[in-house]
Amino acid sequence: MTTTTLNVKGMTCNHCVQAVEGALTELSGVERALVDLKANSVAVEYDESVVTVEQMTEAIEDQGYDVEA
Amino acid sequence: MTTTTLNVKGMTCNHCVQAVEGALTELSGVERALVDLKANSVAVEYDESVVTVEQMTEAIEDQGYDVEA
Ligand SMILES: [Cu+2]
Ligand SMILES: [Cu+2]
């Protein structure tokens, strides 16, 4: 299990928080996700043998947000 | 409920992660805590009417880590 923090642009409210956390935790291999709305970030705990940062990025972008490198 | 991300110095392994997350989630008012070991940070979801950042900082420092402003 490892953890990373992704920078997410466009989150403005608690619905955005739920959308991003929900999209991430639905991915198999993602254990926990915690959005910091003010910091425009999401901390993610995941199993790197199961899911990649690319897949997490895609899941967030599918919700309409941008992930910055 | 609000969220913040604190910078924590001195965490080196999963025991540190457990110590910091455990100290935070034991505080009443703290809902969730997720350490990013590589980023030296912890994202915390908490009820600001119940617990303060100062109390969270103290709880982390009691475990032997430094919290940076
Ligand atoms: Cu929103
Ligand atoms: Cu340690």
B30: distance to nearest CA of chain A, Å?
13
Contacts of A41 in chain B (CB under 8 A): 5, 43
Give residue A60 CA to ligand 1 midpoint distance, Å.
13
Check residue A66 and give its pLDDT.
97
Nearest to B32 among A5, A34, A41 (CB): A34
Cβ separation A32–B36 shorter than 8 A: no
Q: Of A6, A24, A39, nearest to B2 (Cα)?
A: A39
Check residue B69 and give its pLDDT.
76
- The ipTM (two decimal places) reads 0.81
Asked if residue A69 has pLDDT above 80, the reply is: no
What are the extents of the domains in chain A? 2-68
Interface of chain B against chain A, CB under 8 Å? 3-5, 32-39, 41-43, 45
Q: Give the pLDDT of chain B (69 residues) as one tens digit per residue.
A: 999 999 999 999 999 999 999 999 999 999 999 999 999 999 999 999 999 999 999 999 999 999 997
A10-57 per-position pLDDT tens digit: 999 999 999 999 999 999 999 999 999 999 999 999 999 999 999 999
The answer to whether B28 and B51 are in contact (CB under 8 A) is yes
How far apart CA A37 and CA A45 sit, in angstroms, is 18
Return the CATH architecture of domain A2-68: 2-Layer Sandwich (3.30)
